[in-house]
Each structure stands twice: as structure tokens, then as C-alpha cells.
Amino acid sequence: MAKRFVKISLAIKFRLLFGAAVLGIIAVALAVPWTFAARLAEQTAQRPGDELTRLRLNEWLAKHPTNIAAAEDTASSVVAMHTAGDARGRKGPLLIRLRPDMTTDRLDGPREQALRAFVGNVNQRVAMVRTEDDAGTTIYRCFRAVRVEQTCMHCHGATEPLERQYQPGQLVGIIDVAIPGEEAGGWMVKATWWAFIIGGVLSGLLAFFLFSLISHRLVLRPVRQLRNLADKVADGDLAVRSRVRTGDELQHLGDSFNEMLNAISSQHEKLRSANRALDLKLDELAQANVALFHANRVKTEFLANISHELRTPLNSIIGFADLLAESDDERTSRYCRNIGSAARNLLNMINDLLDLAKIEAGKAVISREQVAIADICKTLLALMQPQADKHRIVLHSKLDKNLPVISTDPGKLQQILYNLLSNAIKFTPAGGEVTLSAGQHATTRGGQRIKEVSISVADTGPGIPEAEQQRIFEKFYQAERSLTRSSGGTGLGLAISRELANLLGGRLSLRSSPGHGAVFTVTLPVDQD
């Protein structure tokens, strides 16, 4: 039996799906530390940034106590001053002095961000912005808000012109310090990040391995065993049984499978013994058939022999009865005519039986010769004319002009037509008509176009009911009608005619409806040129 093609095995499906699930879970799990790491980096950078900005502001204030005011006049809205970078390359504090009427268009992105934060929240002193330098390295920009304090007012208070007077808490500048990412603890963040990735991948691989192992033990192995079992059963091995011992649903499935196999095996056994009994019966039947065939053959041979033996004395009886029928004594003459007629009927019956026995025994010999259909029809019409006259039946003929000459047994064809014509005359009431017609036509049989000749005998008699149209071709069958029953006969004529038509390679058919006469047609093949 052809096995169904498995597109993808359960094991591969398990691994693919679980692998994808593990990858998804790891990705989601790593997204959390990713966010956490960024925050950690910021917090790590915030402390040194805080320290540095405070330190640098104090340094700067100590060194340039008056420069702020001096420089203030040189720029329109923002004044920037750098100290030189220190030995480790850290950029020194940048003080951005803010005038009250300042705008932000001369500040870069991070500064603007810090300014907004400081303006928005008067309590915020430090802001941290993560950015990259031109080389793409991470740097943290730490900003410290410089706000006016009470101590500032000692110098800048009443002595300042009115438009430059400050309020306590007012934002007057921002300290900007840049710290390289590495220094701000970036290495720690990176290390943490890599630890998460490696840990995630390792735990993913471990989970995958463990899952494969467990799924193989718990599911795949028993399923594979059950599949092998089913394959063996499909190949006709009913002795196999499931040995799955997992103690779960799969074992239950295997046990059910075993029970089903037990039931099938016992049914199979029953079927086998029924088959054996059937074989025996068939054997007996075949033997009975052979015996029947022999008995039939013996019967047929017996009939053929006995019929032959009966004909000789019957012919003598007919001959002597005919002689004695010419006696002067009226009574003797009548008796002898009765004897002659009964003996003739008996002879006809014996002749029919002999014919049938010969055909059934396969001893009927066909002697073919070229026969002109038109001639044979005319001969029969002439032969039947006296009988038709006697029954006061009008005999017609409708013969096509181009009737063929065919190779057939003329004696047997005549016998068929004689039977059909004498039946038609016999069963048609006086004053009726019988028509013999013949014609040639072409037909398709077995995909081949062949020529045939049909000879029909139609009458205007009582016709034959549908139910009897097949039965009248059986041996000894006579239709149950007063008219036909009273017409005598043996019920063998049509059976013999059909057998003879078949022997000649043709067929005999009937078309009839009660009250509208009957049409018997014998069809024979025309030899192809």
C-alpha cells in the first residue's frame, strides 16, 4: 500500500517552533536589560558629571571673579568661555552666561535640552545628555545650572544698573562639561550588556536542548513507535502490538490500538474460516457443475440418438397411414389420416429436438456458400404461398433492389425464415397480412462501421405482450393465449431460430405490441470487400 508522504516530521516541527519561541522570548527578555543598561549608563555618568561641574564652576569663579561682567558685554546674547582641556583630554567647563533677553538659537541640541530642563524646573541643578562626538564615540554632556544666590546680591545687588539687576534663583548661566563614555562607566554598561546577551543565548541553547530531550523522550519516541506499528499493520502484519509504556495518554492510545488489532485479528480469523468454507462450497459447486455438464451432454447425445432412431419407424408409420388413407372404407380412411397427421407432428417435434440437440452439443455444421438474399426470399415466398392461401392470408414482399450476396449457410437461413413465416401465418387470423421485407444498411459496432442485411417477417396478428417477448425464445415456451395455444406447435421453433441466427454470426430480434402484430427480424453481417 502506498504510504502518505510526510512533508515535515513532528521532530523538525517541534524544533523549529520551539527554536522560534525561544528566540522570541530571549529578544523580549533582552529588551528589558537594554533599557535598563541605558539608564544605568546615564546614572553612572551623572555622579562624576555633578562633581566635575561643581568643581569647575568654583575654580572658574575663583580665577575670574570679574570676567563675567567683562565678557558679558562682548557678545550679543550668549557668552562662552573655555578653560583648556586637562591632561586626560577632558574638556574643561564651558560657562554659558545667559542674559535675560537671550534666545536659544545659538545653542546646540544638548545645551538647548538642558536649558529647557532648567527653565522648566527651578529646583533642577544638574542635567545629563547622552550624545556622540564627530568620531562616533559616546560622550555624556553634564550641565549644571548657575543660579543667582543670595551671596551674589552682595556685589551685584544695588550697585548694578536697573536693567541688570538679578533676582535670587534666576538662571544666569550653564556649566557644560563633556565626559567620554568609557570614563563615565560605559565599559560597565557594555560588559553588562554582553553578559546579558551571552547569558540569554546560553540559556536559550540549554532550554532548546532540554526541550528536545524531553519532547523526544515523552512524545516523539512513542509517536514514532506507534507510527512504525501502524505501518506494519498496513503491510498486513496483524501480529504486532504496541509496547509504549509511558503511563500517559500515549500508552492509552497504544493499548487502544492493541485492542483494535485483537478485534481485527479475530474478525480476520473468522473471515478466513468463512472463506475456507466458501472455497469448499465452491469446489462442490464446480464438481456439481461438471457433473451437470456431463449429464447434459449425455442427455443431448441420448436425445440425438433416440431422435434419429425414432424417425425411421415414424416415417414407415406415415407412409403406411397415407397408403391406408386411400381405403374405400370412409372410417378406415379417416382414422388413417388422423394417424398420419399425428405421426407428422411427432416427426416435426423429433426433427426440432434433433436440431436443438445438435446445436447444443456443438455438432451443428455450417456449410457456407455465396447466397443471394433476394433469391432466398423469393424461394421462401413461393414455398409459403400455399400455406398462406390455405389460411386465407395475403403474403406481401418488400425487397430492396440492391440486396447483397452474402457468405452463409443457405439451409439454416431458410430454416429460420421458414419458422418465422409459418409462425406468422399460423398466428395471424384469416384475412390478415404477412409481409417479408429485406434491406441492407450500415451500422457501427465496436467502433467499426459494418454493413448488415436485415430480413423481417411482419404480420397483422395478435402481437406478443412485453412480458413474454423474451420468454418465447426459451425452449418449449408457448405464450399463454387461446389463439396461439390452440395453434399447436412445440415451442421449439424460435429457440432453434435464435440459436441458428447466432451460429451464422447474426441475431434474431422481435418488435411487437399486443393488437398490432409482430415483426421478427433476422440480421446477418454482409462480407466486407
Binding site residues, ligand ADP, CB under 6 A: 419, 423-424, 427, 459, 461-462, 464, 472, 478-479, 484, 489-495, 518
Nearer to ligand ADP (CB atom), residue 229 or residue 464:
464
Nearer to ligand ADP (CB atom), residue 72 or residue 480:
480
Calculate ∠ Cα 345-347-350, nearest 5°: 110
Give whole-number Cα distances, 207 to 176, 219, 357, in Å. Answer: 49, 17, 92
Strand partners, 523: 454, 507
Strand partners, 277: none
Give whole-number Cα distances, 181 to 38, 41, 141, in Å. Answer: 12, 8, 10
- 146-184 residues labelled b (16+ CB within 10 A) or e (exposed): bbbeeeeeeebeeeeeeeeebeeeebbbbbbbbbbbebb
CB 165 within 8 A of CB 72: no
DSSP structural state of residue 222: H
Give whole-number Cα distances, 107 to 7, 27, 182, in Å. Answer: 65, 39, 26
| CB within 8 Å of 480: residues ≥ 6 apart | 468
264-273: long-range contacts, CB 8 A cutoff, minimum separation 24: 264/238, 265/238, 265/239, 268/238
Q: Nearest distance from residue 332's CB to ligand ADP, in Å?
A: 31
Q: Nearest distance from residue 268's CB to ligand ADP, in Å?
A: 53
Nearer to ligand ADP (CB atom), residue 176 or residue 459:
459
Nearer to ligand ADP (CB atom), residue 138 or residue 454:
454
Nearer to ligand ADP (CB atom), residue 179 or residue 303:
303
C-alpha to C-alpha distance for 466 and 513, rounded to whole angstroms? 7
| CB within 8 Å of 473: residues ≥ 6 apart | 494, 495, 498, 508
Q: Nearest distance from residue 362's CB to ligand ADP, in Å?
A: 22
Q: Nearest distance from residue 274's CB to ligand ADP, in Å?
A: 45
Reading the block at residue 413, the C-alpha cell is: 437461413
Nearer to ligand ADP (CB atom), residue 71 or residue 479:
479
Nearer to ligand ADP (CB atom), residue 315 or residue 470:
470
Q: Nearest distance from residue 523's CB to ligand ADP, in Å?
A: 18
* Dihedral of the alpha carbons of 67, 68, 69, 75, in degrees to the nearest 10: 110
Reading the block at residue 88, the C-alpha cell is: 586626560
- Judge residue 280's burial from the number of C-beta atoms within 10 Å of its C-beta, 0-12 exposed, 13-18 middle, 19 or more buried: exposed
Q: Nearest distance from residue 511's CB to ligand ADP, in Å?
A: 11
Q: Nearest distance from residue 453's CB to ligand ADP, in Å?
A: 21
Nearer to ligand ADP (CB atom), residue 68 or residue 416:
416
Q: Nearest distance from residue 463's CB to ligand ADP, in Å?
A: 6
Q: Nearest distance from residue 348's CB to ligand ADP, in Å?
A: 9
DSSP structural state of residue 70: H
Nearer to ligand ADP (CB atom), residue 15 or residue 475:
475
CB 133 within 8 A of CB 139: yes
Measured distance between the N- and C-terminal CA atoms of the chain, rounded to whole angstroms: 52
Q: Nearest distance from residue 403's CB to ligand ADP, in Å?
A: 23
Neighbours of 337 (CB within 10 A): 15
C-alpha to C-alpha distance for 355 and 360, rounded to whole angstroms? 9
CB 361 within 8 A of CB 301: yes
Q: Nearest distance from residue 427's CB to ligand ADP, in Å?
A: 4
Nearer to ligand ADP (CB atom), residue 424 or residue 504:
424
Nearer to ligand ADP (CB atom), residue 156 or residue 511:
511
Q: Nearest distance from residue 420's CB to ligand ADP, in Å?
A: 7
Quickly list DSSP for 82-97.
EPPP-TT-PPPPEEEE
Nearer to ligand ADP (CB atom), residue 357 or residue 526:
357
The residue number whose beta carbon is nearest to ligand ADP equals 489
